[in-house]
Amino acid sequence: MKYEAVIGLEIHVQLNAATKLFCDCPNRPGDEPNRNTCPVCLWLPGALPKLSREALEKATLACLALNCTIQPESAFDQKVYYYPDLPKGFQLSQHHKPLARNGWIDIIGEDGKQKRLRIHHIHMEEDVAKLVHEMEGRTPVSLVDFNRAGTPLIEIVSEPDMRSPYDAMEYVKALRTQLRYTGSADCSMEQGTLRVDANISLRPFGTDELNTKVEVKNMNSIRNVGDAIAYEIVRQGECLDRDEPIVLHTRLWDPEKRVTMPMRGKFSGPCVPDPSVARIVVTDDWLKDIRRRLPEMPGRKAERFSKEYGLTPEEASNMSQEREISEFFEEVARQGIPPRKAASWITTHLVPALRDRDVTITETPLTSGRFARLLAILETGVINAHAAKEVLLQLLASDRSPDEIVEKGKYRQVSDNSELEAIVDKILADHPSDVDDFRGGNAKVMGFLMGLAMKASGGKANPRLLKEIFTKKLG
Amino acid sequence: MRTTADIFTYKNTSQQERAKGGPLAGKRVVIQPNMCARGWLTDAGSRALEGFIALEDATVVARLREAGAQLAGSARMGELGFGLKGDTGAQAIAAGEADIALITDTMGEARVAAAAHGLFAFKASFGVISRFGLVGLVPSIESWGVLARDLEDIIAVMRAVTGKDENDPSMPDEEPPDLSNIGGPLMKGQTAGVIKECLGGLSVEEVRLFQTGLERLEQAGFTMQEVSFQDFGLFRVVHNVIGSVEASSSAGKYDGVRYGHRASSAKHWNEMYLNTRGESFGTLIKEYLFQGAYFQFENYRAFENACRIRGRLVRDTADLFKNVSVLAFPTRRLGLNAAAATSAREVYDAFSLTLPANITGQPALHVPSFARGPEGDMGMQLAAPRLADAGLLEIGKVLASAMSGAERK
């Protein structure tokens, strides 16, 4: 039988607020174990939670970026379960009254058409501590690191609108782009600041029933999200074909074996309103203020880039996916650099160089002014593209001006006719058979000869002049 | 007679505070080990917090120190503050070890303990005193209770500790009562309401004794008025459901992972939890925590209903005050010894007349000797609308002077 997959995602995102959700401890889970703790996040007797204003603001910004409606009143509940990573026997989470409801994200579906995926709600909650299992000699010990306990999270619960691994991956990508734009979260799956749990069920095509779902966890990349869902769809399909019932449970994705393995029955404990955390009552003025902080989001920005700068849809999309890149592009374009040229250089040279170094633009000395100057020098013919690439790499490492680098590094392009003619003459003399080849009609030889000449000039020859000379001499 | 060691879990021998001035200068205050005082054992009377030493002062403790009070020490208390079994705060005053005692009042502990020792007791409005540093059990219901022989001492403590605290954001966003000017003569035209259904649960003899107390109220200038509150019996049910659920959550942090008693051996974490918690809690509190876990895990609907009914009880009580200035109740039943209760049901029996004020968050004052008979003091308990703490204490002063006048006769 052919089945249709029904997929919903629950995504936990760690907010990058400076402090934990209910105390002033630094929000830095990676520090030396148990360094960032206090009576509140250890939940020592007598402590009381104090909701972080910054975390609330960042959460609200994230909700707005995902087109949700902020609720006039939200509140924290105690999600009761007992585990050593939970310092008080319950997790504070907004179960009954979430911060926001009814959002959506648009993706481009597999059919190339826009598809709107709905978000059921977004709530705030605190993260739990980290358990470390070690051997002390021959005795196994379990240690608890409370640095992560109480760090601020939002959980984004989608509607079951996704139908394929592709949909799910696009949803996660789009959500990540939107959230990073707001500056309220880093959203790294590798570092665990964005964690995806997928709920998957199957139904016969053409029906609209919602069958028993299975939850899959532990995917640490978007690729793994797709693979785990694809695996689970096949697995459940085989179960159904064998008339095995699907049981509500949680499975773990094993990235080595590339399979999902059963973990435990899905547990849902009681959720009791917490009397000690103040209710959140949103006023219009406050919400207006947060809304003002919402940047122009990538979809709208791409449209504007097409219109204002004449970028193609693909270029506009490339220039708007990341907020930092988009702002950098616009600053460069405003300095009189042809926008498509700026976009092309950012995509083909700057972004790969940043990726190689695993840095963002702000982590390098590069400024939009120096990048624009580099492209301007390139435009006027003082240097060629080859040299410009070299200069760009140096701009990422030092704060010298492009002009200085060009002068000191002797990158200035050779446009002196006599100098270039001497190079060309020598190459023609050294490669008589290739010359004959060309004259015999093999046009490809020109490229080979150009390469040799460029190399002989140390990469500095003006390619336009060089070609003219070759054409003249071979004609 | 109890010895000092029987009364105190920690006796403060530091001389530092003695010389300090302030409105509470020279007053010896005894607290309980569920109130944090830096460096003191703070085990809330439970093995679950065995050896826990407070890292900082509760806001209340810090404010008492600032006001010049001398912290005499920490008394003994019922496990986690549920009921009065083993409580010695009132005894500390009776034995001359302290002038003032602080007891958490979750269902009426302060008022009932005072009734047994001829003391005044005041439970403040919910939310006007910071709970920072209180090792609480039932956060939406519990309050601070103050006991003293002299009502003026209670007023002085209330002045020192009432008011906002940035460390307790759960305090409602409202102006705390102004206690600066308590003392004028009783205003004319005060009416005391008596709930018919409350008297319905008392024995003939108890009603008669309480009536003598009401007559003395009349002599002090009150007009009496009978009022009806059909759902009076629901206060107890609502308290039991909400109280036990919150207690179960609050006690969830006592797992032996970070402090307190931990079972000596276990095969895995789940067994460590079971053994630790099994060994840590006494039978009385265990019964209460089980009740709460039952409502949390098996009958959440009952909890939701209790919360909804609580809202109605709060509104209906507020309506009663349209016609009366205070409500008068006996403080306790005769022949029920709260300290001897061995089951949750017996604990609730002992506090059935005081717990309504905890459900509604109203201030309540226990006045001793108004309804005293051969079998003991039932106590006269007056409850005022929430945040009317100042007016209630003012009434208390009038009754205190009427009382001493009567004693002189």
As a whole number, mean pLDDT of residues A56-80 equals 96
pLDDT in tens, A449-468: 888 888 888 777 888 888 88
Q: Is B46 helix (H, G, I), strand (E, B) or coil?
A: coil
* Phi, psi (deg, nearest 5) at residue B101: -125, 140
Q: How much is the pLDDT for B269?
A: 83
Alpha-carbon distance of B259 to B281, in angstroms, equals: 14
- Structure confidence by residue, pLDDT tens digits, A380-413: 878 888 888 888 888 888 888 888 888 887 777 7
Residue B255 lies in a domain: no
Domain spans in chain A, listed from the N-terminal domain onward:
3-284, 296-408, 417-474
Taking one residue from A and the other from B, the number of pairs with CB-CB distance under 8 angstroms is 88
**b/e per residue, A368-386, with b = 16+ CB within 10 A?**
bebbbbbbebbeeebbbeb
Calculate mean pLDDT across residues B151-167: 96
Length of chain B: 409
Whether A272 sits inside 8 A of B296 (CB atoms) is yes
Residue range A417-474 forms a domain whose CATH class is mainly alpha
CB contacts, 8 Å: A130 with chain B: none
pLDDT score at B409: 45
Q: Is the pLDDT of residue B407 over 70?
A: no
**Gap from B131 CA to chain A (nearest CA, Å):** 8
Q: For the residues A148-159, what does the mean pLDDT come to?
A: 97
> What kind and span of H or E run contains B165?
none
Nearest C-alpha of chain A: how many angstroms from B250?
Answer: 8
Residues of B in contact with A21 (CB under 8 A): none
On whether any CB of chain A is under 8 Å from the CB of B48, the answer is no
A276 CB neighbours in chain B (<8 A) are 131, 139, 170
Considering only CB atoms, which chain A residues are within 8 Å of B143?
none
> Do B309 and B301 contact (CB within 8 A), yes or no?
no
Q: Mean pLDDT, to the nearest integer, of B141-162?
A: 97
Share of chain B above pLDDT 70, in %: 96
Calculate how close chain B gets to A273, using CA atoms only, in Å.
Answer: 9
Q: Give the range of the structural domain holding residue B370, as residue numbers without chain letter.
A: 4-233+309-408
Average pLDDT over residues A297-314: 91
What average pLDDT does the segment A62-82 reach? 94
- Evaluate whether B98 touches B125 at the Cβ level (below 8 Å): no
Mean pLDDT, to the nearest integer, of B342-347?
96
Cα dihedral B382→B384→B387→B388 (10° resolution): -90
In Å, how far is A100's CA from the nearest CA of chain B? 22
What pLDDT sits at residue A42? 92
Percentage of chain A surpassing pLDDT 90? 56
A281: closest chain B residue by CA: B173
Q: How many domains does chain B have?
A: 1
Q: What is the pLDDT of residues B160-189, one digit of tens each?
A: 999 999 999 889 889 999 998 887 666 567
3-state secondary structure B96-110: CCCCEEEEEECCCHH
- Judged by a CB distance cut-off of 8 A, whether residue B299 touches chain A is no
pLDDT at A405: 85
Q: Residue A78: which of B42, B56, B249 has the nearest Cβ?
A: B249
Q: What pLDDT is stored for residue A442 in this prediction?
A: 85
Question: Per the domain annotation, does B304 fall within a domain?
Answer: no
Name chain A contacts of B257, Cβ cutoff 8 Å.
84, 87, 144
State yes or no: pLDDT of A34 exceeds 60.
yes
d(CA A258, CA A227): 8
Taking an 8 Å cut-off on Cβ atoms, the answer to whether B259 and A142 are in contact is no
Q: Which of B171, B132, B142 is nearest to B81 (CA)?
A: B142
How does the average pLDDT of chain B come out, rounded? 92
Number of other CB atoms surrounding residue B241 within 10 Å: 23
Backbone angles phi, psi at B136, to 5 degrees: -85, 170
Closest CB to B300 among A78, A270, A276: A270
Helices B234-250, B300-320: crossing angle, 10 deg rounding: 130
Choosing among B79, B296, B303, B308, which should be mutated to test the A contact, i.e. which has the most A CBs within 10 A?
B296
The predicted pLDDT at position A169 comes to 96
Distance from CA of B108 to the nearest CA of A (A): 20
Task: Go through A52-83 and write b for each residue having 16 or more CB atoms within 10 A of its CB, e for each that does not.
Answer: bebbbbbbbbbbbbbbbebbeebbbbbbbeee
A78/B273 Cβ within 8 A: no
Which range has the worst mean pLDDT, A264-268, B104-108, B162-166?
A264-268
Average pLDDT, rounded, for chain A = 90
Identify residue B164 by its one-letter amino acid code: K
Residue A388 confidence (pLDDT)? 85
- 3-class DSSP assignment, residue B48: helix
CB atoms within 10 A of CB A316: 25
pLDDT category at A265 given cuts 50, 70, 90 is low
For the cut 50, the answer to whether the pLDDT of residue A136 exceeds it is: yes
Closest of B85, B87, B77, B97 to residue B3, by C-alpha: B97
What is the pLDDT, as a whole number, of residue B408?
46
| Residue matched to tokens 């934990």 | A20
Cα–Cα distance list, B143 to A144, B241, B327, B361 (Å): 34, 18, 19, 8
Q: pLDDT band at A92, cuts 50/70/90?
A: very high
- Give the DSSP H or E segment for A286: helix A284-292
Here the ipTM equals 0.89
In a domain? residue B253: no
B269 CB near a chain A CB, below 8 Å? yes
Chain A CB contacts of B170 below 8 Å: 48, 275-278
The nearest CA of chain B is from the CA of A354 a distance in Å of: 44
For an interface test with B, give the residue of A272, A274, A279, A281 to mutate (most B CBs within 10 A): A272
User: Which whole number is the average pLDDT over A353-376?
Assistant: 90
User: Does residue B245 lie in a domain region?
Assistant: no
Q: Is A90–B252 a contact, with Cβ atoms under 8 angstroms apart?
A: yes
Cβ separation of B249 and A269 shorter than 8 Å?
Answer: no
Say which CATH number the domain at B67 has.
3.90.1300.10
pLDDT, tens digit, for every residue of A9-24? 999 999 999 999 999 9
Which of B135, B269, B296 lies nearest to residue A84, judging by beta carbons?
B269
Kindly give the interhelix angle for A432-439 and A463-474, rounded to the nearest 10 degrees: 80
Nearest by CB: A42 against B167, B169, B258: B258
B18 — pLDDT class (breaks 50, 70, 90): low
Whether residue B169 and residue A88 make contact (CB cut-off 8 A), yes or no, is no
Q: Are A164 and A227 in contact (CB under 8 A)?
A: no
* C-alpha–C-alpha distance, residues A188 and A325, integer Å: 18
pLDDT at A171 over 60: yes
Residue B406's pLDDT is 59
Q: How far apart are CA A205 and CA A191, in angstroms?
A: 38
* B106 in any annotated domain: yes
CB B37 within 8 A of CB B29: no
